[in-house]
Structure 1
Amino acid sequence: MAASDQTGRNHNTGLPATRAGSPWLAQWADRLRRAAIILLAAGFALGGLVIFGEVSFPRALAVFICLVAGALIPWRLRDVEQARGEGVGIAPVETAVVRAIVEGMPDPAVLLDRAGRVLHFNSAAGQLAPALRKNELAQFALRSPEIITALREAIASAEPKRTTYLDHVPVDRWMELIVTPIAVPTAFGGSDYSMLMTFHDQTPLRRVEEMRADFVANASHELRTPLAALSGFIDTLQGPARDDAKARERFLAIMHAQATRMARLIDDLLSLSRVELSAHVRPDTLVDIVVIIRQVADGLEALAHERQVTIEIELPTAPIMIAGDREELLRLFENLIENALKYGASGGRVIVSLVTAAGGDGAPEVRVLVRDFGPGIAPEHLPRLTERFYRVDVGDSRAQGGTGLGLSLVKHILNRHRGRLLIESVPKKGATFTACFPQTKSPASA
């Protein structure tokens, strides 16, 4: 075979290197040889018939032309089919270039034909809707009424449509969908519309709006009482108790307690808002949960000594790794153990233990149990314990310095970590709070 230079032309023939000496020419030469033999034999036969007067010359010529056409047309059809198999006859919207563009989009994107069948979708869309399948109707995988309505309207009007909907799996997320009709050429030179669906996560914006509204409502409600107390005592100290040293000392102590309560309430509200803001983003940093629990337990030894409660730790010596946010986990276990020390102090001890077990779906999970032996919780209160500002005993909670947000914060932190909270209690026999986390293999065993 002749060598070719960098310009892509054959030195001997001057033809493009992709044609000269290629299998394409060899294939055509072979076809022509076989056709020539067949046509030559047919020509001799027809010539003999003309010579002997069996067939007139015009009729013989017409038959020969038909034979030539019959020999060449099937080759042309085979070439067309082969070209289509190589991508030449594929509709422009189904080419690899369009597929690469859709796959390269950062947000979930799905390209449909005008009938609503899936042509291409990227990996982000596959994670958003795992049921998506190529060449199947998108409505089978995207069953939200808002999505189906927007898609039908865009197909019918050939105009862009925008809608928002709430996606509940795996966690609540507000999504915005934009359906954009795109005019594309067809394989036969005409034009048609394809539908490009792009999804945008609006959860952070929604979280910010909800956080602002919740903060204003909760802060105005919970801060009213301590602020009223502070204002009343200030008026008293400026008036009747101005020169009463004993009353001044007592009132200042109460004011200090109320100010401390307000500071803790604001801290809990801000922590809760931060967790809710990032609830849709699962932490991916590996942390040793055993170290975190021991650190929290050591930090609460002073409170345990003050309440005359013993903290018993039953933890493995080996590291137990989970995907989590260290600061949030510290806050979670601090709330659980501190609640046990405060509200279960009459039992004299608190047990903190860790076990591994299978979750409801059979996947392995890490369970941290915090058990107290106090008065327990009545069954009717258990379903509402994680509600904001819900208290079993309002007076006792405020006396203990509680804000009513501790277990709500625990629940939201667990939700962000894709975990769950289990609460078991029998009146007069204590309560057990179990924080469950998906288990992650340690680097040593991975």
Structure 2
Amino acid sequence: MTSLQDPAVATLIRTPVVPGAAQAPTAVIHPDRLLAVVQSGLLDTEPETCFDDLVQLALEVAGGERAYFTVVDAHRSFWKSAVGVDASEGREIRVEDSVSQIIIATDGALVIEDTRCDDRTRRLGVVTELGVGACIGFPVRDEAGHVIGGLCVMSNVRRSWTAQQQRALATLARAVSAEAQLRRALSDSRAQAEAMRDARDEQAALAGSLQESLLPPRLPAIPGISAAAAYLPAGHGVEVVGDFYDLFEAGGHWWAVMGDVCGHGVEAAKLTALARYTVRTEAAHPGATTRDVLLRLHDALIAQHGRTKMLTAALATLFPGPGGVTGRLCSAGHEPPLIRRADGRIDVPPTRGCVLGLTDDVVLEEADFVLGHGDALVLHTDGVTEARAGRGQELFGDDRLAEVLTQRYHGQNADGILDRVLQAVGEHNRGYHADDTAIMVIRA
């Protein structure tokens, strides 16, 4: 069925606009975009904590008086989440009066320091009626890249938006997109499974799509660093669990994180998404340390889930230089990070910390480290050390992992070290995957 043939889209396009009103940009009423809006399932739904938390965080990061996550159809900008606004009299405005129409039309960011001096915004109803002096917004997209709405922050006065704020809001807009896509993936997987009447196929399809959305599709290329990572699902991969990793740039340097969320299924996937995007957002704050970021992640877990959810994580900052890589590590109840020296020695940085999300008093200690040429930092989840050939069988263990890492790797990069560890784990467990396994190797 094409977009124009879809009854919901056809209804949106046929609905007459207010006589004499300005017409929305062509991109707003494009049938493919409208179909994506309908399929998102977000129109005319109640506010939800997960979106409200992200919008609140956007307002705190950028400053201002109000912030929105909007979903835009052919005629209105619907406030799925609105912070700093009295929504008791309605949660939508005409699309012609919104800044979201500009984001859709330009397919990109909107950064305006003086709305009354910008021809795109000075006549908009949201500007004249609410007294908006400055605004900033980023697109919220579906999995195919269609812009279904926007994440916007508004100020009552003219002001500038720093590059740091713009990067943080762009990250939060991607987090909102990921949450919306997660819901769509769940809905699509359920519909497909119902049509096929095969519950196992439903679980496998859902697990694959959700798990892929929680891991980076590829690691970035970093001058002076060789990096490799792998994720192996437990069992037959029919249920999403919470191992995750990420390698990204923020605040002028690089960050590496490895985490393990307690639990399985969609709830674990949501918690993993919260963890990954919170780490990225908090790392973008000027001067943020590994301890600062993990503490903010702990606060986010408590704020959203009380003390009912927990996770472990190891977080590192990386500063590549001509002499190697310097950095700092912090571990929150996670498997100890290991450093394999070029001569085969194994160092264990003195990190100590408790799991996140359970207690008020969080103890986290940082440790500095240096990677010389050929040294490698190894981050992993307990799926490595607890690998075994079956229930009651011997665990792979810390000693065996250290023994594998101690072996000589002449001229090998991070991929070579990673492959050798995975090979050793596979030989030990004989294909029996009781738990998810994630590992990342960062070699100078």
Give TM class, smaller chain.
under 0.3
Greater RCO (Cα-Cα under 8 Å, separation 6 or more): 2
TM-score of the superposed pair, with normalisation by structure 2 = 0.25
If you compute each CA radius of gyration, which structure gives the higher value, 1 or 2?
Answer: 1
TM-score of the superposed pair, with normalisation by structure 1 = 0.25
Normalized per residue, the structure richer in helix is 1
Normalized per residue, the structure richer in strand is 2
